[in-house]
A and B are shown apart, each in its own frame.
Chain A
């Protein structure tokens, strides 16, 4: 028998060419008693290998935790912890080396290893040369780690193996170092040799033809059958035996890791559970001021049972503490995701959705079957999330809190790029191939897209590139920081898992990702950022200041008029439902009550769109189609969404009720679709699903549709509770927009960048709603956008200094601070606010000196004579400079003003640029957006406007959606694929487009289906009048 102790998985980046689970599976298939993983300075892959073997116990193959330590002393050691304590030392050693070095690096010396060596077994990799230096290294390690140090012998088929192994073994014998056989595995099967060669080239940044001896001479470094290993080492039976001895000595298993929740949050004299109960009941009393209903009481008791059985109470307390901290600082927060299913979370104030009201299943959050910790995700204001993160680091310390890593995998585009480069394909070809892939696809390059890129798919190298890149997709590339997943432990976190530096300063990440942490039952809380929360909090603050009313996320009244506004698609700026797709859905779906918003949020998602669920739902809602259920079992699941599955839960429940999956399997299915961890398992799930449904008498077509829906959900679907949480924000933001359009606009502008629309559209929308918007002015503006009493009563918006592009916040705020009774000249600002010439120049460009009667040019001219850098003493001397002769600058034209407004602030309060072109456009027979909205269905018209958005959704098969805007409003264009091909250039780069097309109405929704498109961007130049480099800086936002 033989155990393999030297194995590199693909977590030894660009070296190992197999996934950890493939290696584990190969070892299990050969009946290995044990296999170790020894990736370079990392333990990232061990959870994958461990879980694979644990889930497939038939072979009896045991997993040995190991690591290859590349030392700065110029050699490497393989290290295997024998028990839990030794493991903790290994993770601390790796943490030490990682924290000391830059991102992705590790810096360790032999003496570091020595200090952490208790309980570790070491193997010295088989040397290729045996000079004095190598001999010295082996001898000194032999002395340091006597009794638990072996020298590896590896048969690599280099020609003189028998002789060379003897030489090394004899040296080992003479030095008193025992030997052990390894195969220094790089891949599970020799078929991966080509991929390994390519990875070597990517690592060395060369092509295969240049790589030379950097490649391996042969494909021998795979997992070999034990009998082959025995034959290779016939002369050295001790080396084979030693593998088993070491395997036997290193019995540490990841199952021994006991993750423990932090304890300090529990109130004194209480168990964690008692404390949780106390807090929950207190919270419930607040949530239900009329008295806690029996139903609620029963549900809380029910949840308590599971929580106490699983000992999850400290977790709830930890999250509650974080939320409490944020709330105490006035940072708006709201739980999202499946935590919304928990009444305890609702009572604690972690979530804002009453699960009783919405009949949400607690089991979706914590299931009795799944032995996995719950997952609570909380959104915080995006501008203030960092406060929360730093609070956690501060409270628990860096050795106890860390952020989960995200393994960044090869995706199609990068894979084809790097493989193509290694194969020596020209930059052009590789670029063309990569270009043919949309977005973040994992599907690789198809031969269709190869042809589309104008290449020959039968070309040998090209074919190889496609195949190999397909293999490379899903390989880890590097570790990155998870968006906000914190792990917090009671004891030292670095004794559970190595911690390393992230790219961002002051951030440390653990070497395991979310799924690894889940597998090992480690708690994590997602601290996420949400721009809308920032905007809502700022809106609440403004309402309190100017209207004297205090609102929170949970005391906004439900009102029909707010729904009426949404039904008319008046939703610019409203959370989630402001996009064009949502805007065209609103009038069709006609939300009348809160739950309709939940559906609205869930339905306009790639999952339901790809699964073709949108139209059936709408038809049923409008009563155009009868609601049918394929079976009674499914009726229960699908009733609330009219028989069309829209939420993740429903898809999972179909798998359970319809196809006979266990809840666990259904969950695994969902996750296998969402991540790379189970690449290749999807098709087996599919077979089982279809078979299960057929067996239960569902038609095959239906079964297949269900599965494709589930596929869509896995990646993009929302769980219902999440949709409810988001719908809450939809309603709150819509309510603010309806009642306080000025406040709403100001809050959104103060939270930029966020959302779908640029400031120009937000301001325009506010003005359309009768809000007066006042320009930036050094004498009136604050840093933020503020409200001012309007002449008509009510409030007007005053644009803030923050809107002046390039003005530093510090100087902007200093101007406001030192303003006093007001400034009379730019020089005075320089003097009193200590403002530099550059900052004043930016303000002048933003035309912010209106109250001094200085137009933009004159202001710029005056400012450019100042020297802000001059020390205060000399400033009085500087004054006489202003006695310079009067300078007469040429006046600017209205259109130039507009262009420069856009340049300096991204918007204008003057005319829309198209107004200047209108007479010319009218002569060309171009209708306005307003006319277009009045036009009858199927009428052929021409419209022109600035491009606001370009969208090419993955789901739309090459169709492009454009939104253009003129002085009377926006028009949505649909460009089908063939039209788009014809006018590719205009569609992709035009700033001002004209479009001739057919008006298409569906209810209140209007599109123009483009037939011809012209790029009229050149006409914008005429607004400038004089020849120059500057043109209107209209920037469309492009989405894919």
Chain B
């Protein structure tokens, strides 16, 4: 069958994405910026910015001269690709042959698919087919907040050109030359230097280009220019490499005989885990959640789910987690199919599996296993650990945080900074009579100080909005005549003493 190519072009993908993310952006001028020669340049703008005279290609600094309040958002090519990929996947509803054209658009081969589409707005015969399909796809994309221009032609090159530069949206094979001829040379997907050179000698349109002897063109600009011409006019093949979505992580075992014992389920599960973990390793990922679905002979499904605090692909680790849950599994009259799937996974650097001789690694994974088992029983938000913050204010320097939220802290704690295990909060006022630290009174009780060390003088974050009124605090470790140790401090201006905690 002759191919029919539908090309979709997104003229404002980044801007549309940003406006969709935060609809309130729509009203205020903003620009997407890209770094060029060390300076941010405007790559795209939204409507209010355009109305204020901001144009792509300007330097951000110049744009700000025009519009001091211009919001500048650095471009995020990854996010743009993500949007495009979602559209590519979504376009599978029209045809299985969909591809990213790698230049801001999508190509779909809709040969043989168009007759399935009817424009529901106007139930007329004319609206069936390609026009209806184009109408449908554009309307749906626009409804999701993205601008799009589509065109259908007999070749990829022609559809690409028409979507960007053309007037007519649907062009038959016979109409192709007439539709392409008046388009600018840029419509031929040529490198920028070549179109620039063509323009310099006055060849601005494809029609003019076609009048030049082919040999003269090839001598000057290489054979690529002829290929592009031929591809657009249908004189050369251009295969479309369709996009295939990544396969989900799933492993299935269908058993010859249904099983009902825990041991045999474990046996099959281990097999499934091996398969999954191998695949995870190849992709440098680790599982965050796993589902085991057991299809029973009575037609019902019994499932168990596990989660981990960080990406894991250790078979023993995962097996242990499953064992916590397997006891709750109801095998009924027997299980005939087991499906293990990984609905959630994250990147995990490659490392070797099952090498217990690495002590440090094992300790780590043992702790992880323990944390995961606790987490599955108590909830991951209930398993916490201390996290150090590099902050001179002692009460801000440690925090109790759920393990799952834990990003490995690089903060180090100097050994000489000794802190009580538990703070008295708020600190208790104490009376310290006399200058040499000889005693303090806490609620009428007198403590005679026999030993003292300090001061540790600390300032607080003077820049913070809630920065305290005092300039610094002097912390002392003191021991009274009964052998009890305290962490007390004196606050500057006004000088006041407080008890902050008990030391071992």
Q: Which residues of A contact B (CB under 8 A)?
A: 128, 157-160, 162-164, 193-194, 197, 208-209, 211-215, 217-220, 423, 427-428, 431-432, 435, 453-454, 460-461, 464, 845, 857, 860-861, 864-865, 881, 884-885, 887-892, 900, 984-985, 988-989, 1026-1030
Contact = CB atoms under 8 A, between A and B. Distances in A.
Contacts of B471: 219
A157 B455 contact: yes
B343 interface: no
A193 B475 CA distance: 20
B459 interface: yes
A423 B467 CA distance: 14
B391 interface: yes
B103 interface: no
B219 A865 contact: yes
A892 B221 CA distance: 21
A864 B68 contact: no
B199 A431 contact: no
A750 B417 CA distance: 70
Q: Can you list the 5 inter-chain pairs with the closest CB atoms, starting with the nearest?
A: A212-B390, A159-B456, A157-B457, A218-B457, A890-B202
B416 A164 contact: yes
B202 A892 contact: yes
Nearest to B219: A865
27 contacts: A128-B414, A159-B416, A159-B455, A159-B456, A159-B475, A163-B453, A194-B463, A197-B463, A208-B463, A212-B390, A212-B411, A213-B390, A214-B390, A215-B392, A218-B472, A428-B72, A432-B68, A435-B68, A860-B197, A865-B216, A865-B220, A890-B208, A891-B202, A985-B52, A988-B66, A1026-B199, A1030-B199
Contact of B215 (A158, A454, A884, A985): A884
A1027 B454 contact: no
B416 A464 contact: no
B200 interface: yes
A158 B455 CA distance: 7
A892 B203 CA distance: 10
B2 interface: no
B351 interface: no
Contacts of B69: 454
B65 A887 contact: no
A159 B65 contact: no
Contacts of B472: 218-219
Given A157-B457, A860-B197, A887-B213, 7 more contacts: A159-B454, A159-B475, A193-B459, A194-B462, A213-B390, A423-B463, A884-B213
Contacts of A428: 71-72
B53 A217 contact: no
A158 B416 contact: yes
B53 A985 contact: yes
A213 B391 CA distance: 7
Contacts of B456: 157-160, 217
B212 interface: yes
Nearest to A988: B65
B219 A881 contact: yes
B395 interface: no
A460 B465 CA distance: 7
B204 interface: yes
Interface string B392-421: 100000000000000000011010111000
Interface bin, chain B: 35 or more
A1036 B324 CA distance: 76
Contacts of A220: 457
Interface string B164-202: 000000000000000000001000000000001101111
Contacts of A454: 68-69
Nearest to A164: B416
A988 B68 contact: no
A860 B200 contact: yes
B61 to A, nearest CB: 8
A431 B457 contact: no
Contacts of B391: 212
Contacts, number: 137
Nearest to A452: B68
A884 B392 contact: no
Contact of A884 (B184, B216, B389, B390): B216
B72 A160 contact: no
Nearest to B392: A217
B458 A461 contact: no
Contacts of B142: none
A162 B453 contact: yes
Contacts of B208: 890
Interface of B: 52-53, 62, 64-66, 68-69, 71-72, 184, 196-197, 199-205, 208, 211-213, 215-216, 219-221, 389-392, 411-412, 414, 416-418, 453-459, 461-465, 471-472, 474-475, 477
A453 B68 contact: yes
A887 B212 contact: yes
A157 B456 CA distance: 5
Contacts of B390: 211-214
B453 A160 contact: yes
Contacts of B414: 128, 213
Contact of B184 (A864, A890, A1027): A1027
A334 B69 CA distance: 50
B133 to A, nearest CB: 31
B204 A1026 contact: yes
Nearest to B211: A888
Contacts of B202: 857, 889-892
Nearest to B66: A985
A860 B66 CA distance: 39
Given A164-B416, A453-B68, A890-B203, A989 B457 contact: no
Contacts of A845: 200
Contacts of A890: 202-204, 208
Contacts of B392: 213, 215, 217
Nearest to B54: A985
B199 A884 contact: no
A63 to B, nearest CB: 30
A308 B391 CA distance: 66
A689 to B, nearest CB: 39
* Most B-side CB within 10 Å, residue of A208, A427, A1028: A1028
Contacts of B417: 158-159
Contacts of A423: 463
Contacts of A212: 389-391, 411
**Most chain B beta carbons < 10 A, residue from A159, A219, A887, A1028:** A159
A117 B324 CA distance: 70
Contacts of B418: 159-160
A304 B199 CA distance: 71
A159 B414 CA distance: 12
Contacts of B53: 985, 989
B66 A984 contact: yes
Among the interface residues A128, A212, A220, A1026, which one has the most CB atoms of the partner chain B within 10 A? A212
Contacts of A861: 201, 220
A891 B212 CA distance: 14
A208 B461 contact: yes
Contact of B463 (A162, A464, A900, A1030): A464
Contacts of B455: 157, 159
Nearest to A213: B390
A766 to B, nearest CB: 29
Contacts of B462: 193-194, 197
A521 to B, nearest CB: 43
Contacts of B196: 1029
A1026 B185 CA distance: 12
A219 B459 contact: yes
Given A208-B461, A217-B458, A435 B64 contact: yes
A129 to B, nearest CB: 9
B462 to A, nearest CB: 6
A989 B66 contact: yes
Contacts of A1028: 184, 199, 204
A461 B205 CA distance: 57
A765 B87 CA distance: 60
Interface centre among B200, B453, B455 (most CB of A within 10 A): B200
